A and B are shown apart, each in its own frame.
Chain A
Amino acid sequence: MNHFLKSTRFKVILFILALLVGIMIYAVSVGGYTLSAVSLFRTITAPFQRLSNSMSERVEHSLNVYRDAEIHYEQNKALKQEVAELQKQLADYEETRRHLEELQEFVGIKEEYKDLVLSAPCEVVSYVTNDPFGAFMIGQGSADGIELYDPVVTDLGLVGVITEVGDHTSKVTTILSPEVSVAVYCSTTPDHGVVTGSVSLAMEGLCRLQYLEKDSRIRKDKVILTSGENGLFPKGYVVGYVRDVQVDESGLNTMASIEPAAEISDLSMVIVIKDFEGKGVDRDE
């Protein structure tokens, strides 16, 4: 063993370790930008990962059918009940639809979303291995005009934010992560708060709405929308639905569990909002 410690081989290994420390320090210094060598590697491996990921999704889907058979049975029963209720409401459907269209025009949601500059649909290339918050890689990067901290959405709702940009791939950190905070408001009550992730809720695919007033009127199934206050997210985009409301540990505020509108653990395509009105403008300032 002493012979090894005095040998050239030992010096070579020490050199390799020093080199790795250097790489690590350099990787820290470039911030949220992927090293070009890593970016190139990810670009090369992306087709294989897409193929493997799609196969994995199919296998997971097939296994879930068997695993969740009982849950599906219960859901089926509940859905049948729901269908019966919906059939009762069918008579009022046309009137409701007309009313909804009038409301949409009135509120101007369509107009509001016109200011969003959206990317082309981005394929989810792969999920980050063993990330408890469901971070994933998408197949577009700085070459496609994507920038650090751009919001990522689906047609259902907000998914997360870009936290690492390469030339042709980017990493998305989801709203289940404690690293992401979104200023939000409730669509029907005057409540404002911040949606962020927590470890325990992330395990159930939920996130947390915190800093609500103690006498908050927020209730289950209320829709939570982005308020756009910090200039990071566009205003009025759906984040999720309230699942549970409780007083926080301090007893001074109310908090709620939020089920993201987008199904974060089962994404295949997302869209990046490249620009929107008020981007980078902190409305509190």
Chain B
Amino acid sequence: MNKRFTSRHHAAMQVVQWIVFALLAFLFYVLMTSGSHVQPLLLIPLAMCISVHFGEIPSAAVGVVSGLLMDIACGKLLGYNAIWMVVCCVATSLLHSYYLRDKFFNTLLLTAVCTAVQGYMDFMLYYAIWGHENVTLVYTHIMLPSGIMTLVCTIPVWLIVRWICRVCGSQRSFELEKTIVTSQ
């Protein structure tokens, strides 16, 4: 009875958790499209921080949603960022399943790699390939500051996601709890 209540309670908290994540993603999308100044790509740290706490399939779903939102916000070809975000989110989830612990530095490092490669691909495919002159200015004046801002924003995003996962109980912590209870 107690176990059934715990499972139901956990399921309800999971629903709340995903609603909060969806609202956060929407808020970050709106923030990314506000004003004409250089913006951090807030959806990257959000997707990476969420993937740390979940399995491969939920992480892939997070990657799809955040990637498509980035495509719409940045005016890119639909699916272009989504593919890369799926790869990054699944890789983050797998690395945390097999090799890494849930530490801020690990998330920051993975976010930095994801942002750097995304920025480089963006720069190459949308600017450098067309042979515009002084194209490196796009990198130094827009992509680099945006990347640095993204990394700085990883700190609050990591704290927020971690807090939500602690309050609602992430999939991993629940699985771990179940394993401990079963083994006892």
Listed in ascending order, the chain A residues whose CB lies under 8 Å from chain B are 1, 4, 9-10, 12-13, 16-17, 20-21, 23-24, 27-28, 35, 38, 41-42, 45, 48-49, 52-53, 55-57, 59-60, 126-132, 134-137, 164, 171, 178, 198-200, 203, 265-266
Q: Is B11 located at the chain interface by the 8 A CB criterion?
A: no
Do B83 and A199 have beta carbons less than 8 Å apart?
no
The answer on a CB contact under 8 Å between B83 and A20 is: yes
* Inter-chain contact B86/A13, CB cutoff 8 Å: yes
Closest to A249 in B: B133
Closest to B55 in A: A9
Output the nearest chain B residue to A163 by Cβ-Cβ distance.
B75
Does B5 lie at the interface of the complex (its beta carbon under 8 Å from any beta carbon of A)? no
Docked complex Cα distance between A1 and B93 (Å): 12
Cβ 8 A contact of A49, one of B30, B36, B82: B30
How many residue pairs link A and B with beta carbons under 8 A? The number is 127
Chain B contacts for A126, CB-based, 8 A: 33-34
Query: Closest CB-CB distance, B148 to chain A, in whole Å?
Result: 13
- How distant is the Cα of A241 from the Cα of B127 in the complex, in angstroms? 27
Q: Which B residues are CB-close (under 8 A) to A27?
A: 77-79
Give every chain B residue within 8 A of A127 (Cβ-Cβ): 33-36
A134 touches B77 (CB 8 A): no
Tell me which of A16, A35, A57 contacts B60 (CB under 8 A): A16
Interface string of B91-131 (1 = CB under 8 A from A): 00010001000000000000000000000000000010010
Complex CA–CA separation, A136 to B34 (angstroms): 10
* B133 and A198 form a contact (CB under 8 A): yes
- Complex CA–CA separation, A12 to B63 (angstroms): 14
Within the complex, the shortest CB–CB distance from A220 to chain B, in Å, comes to: 23
A203 touches B137 (CB 8 A): yes
**Inter-chain contact B137/A20, CB cutoff 8 Å:** no
Q: Is B86 a contact of A20 with CB atoms below 8 Å?
A: yes
Verify A132–B142 contact, CB threshold 8 A: yes
Binding site for A on B (CB under 8 A): 26, 29-39, 41, 55-57, 60-61, 64, 67, 70, 72-75, 77-80, 82-83, 86-87, 90, 94, 98, 127, 130, 132-135, 137-138, 141-143, 146
Task: From known contacts A127-B35, A203-B141, infer whether A4 and B78 are also in contact, taking CB-CB under 8 Å.
Answer: no
**Is B57 a contact partner of A134 (Cβ separation < 8 A)?**
no
Are A52 and B33 in touch, CB under 8 angstroms?
yes
Chain B residues, CB < 8 A from A9: 55-57
Contact of A20 among B29, B33, B55, B82 (CB under 8 A): B82
Which B-chain residue is minimally distant from A44 (CB atoms)?
B26
25 contacts between A and B (CB under 8 A): A10-B56, A12-B60, A20-B64, A20-B67, A35-B78, A42-B72, A48-B30, A49-B30, A52-B33, A52-B34, A53-B34, A56-B35, A128-B33, A129-B32, A129-B33, A129-B39, A129-B41, A130-B39, A130-B142, A130-B146, A132-B137, A178-B132, A198-B134, A199-B133, A203-B137
A38 — which chain B residues lie within 8 A by C-beta?
A: 72, 78
Say yes or no: A23 contacts B78, CB within 8 Å: yes
Contact A24/B75 with A49-B33, A53-B33, A265-B36 known, Cβ cut-off 8 Å: no
Is the CB–CB distance between B41 and A198 below 8 Å? no
Known: A13-B56, A128-B74, A130-B143. A23 touches B30 (CB 8 A): no
- B137: contacting residue among A10, A199, A266, CB under 8 A: A199
B119 to chain A, nearest CB (A): 9
Chain B residues whose CB sits within 8 angstroms of the CB of A1 once the complex forms:
94, 98
Q: A12 — which chain B residues lie within 8 A by C-beta?
A: 57, 60
Evaluate contact between A24 and B60: CB separation under 8 angstroms.
Answer: no
CA distance A105 to B152 in the complex (A): 59
Q: Are A128 and B94 in contact (CB under 8 A)?
A: no
| B86 CB contacts on chain A under 8 angstroms | 13, 16-17, 20
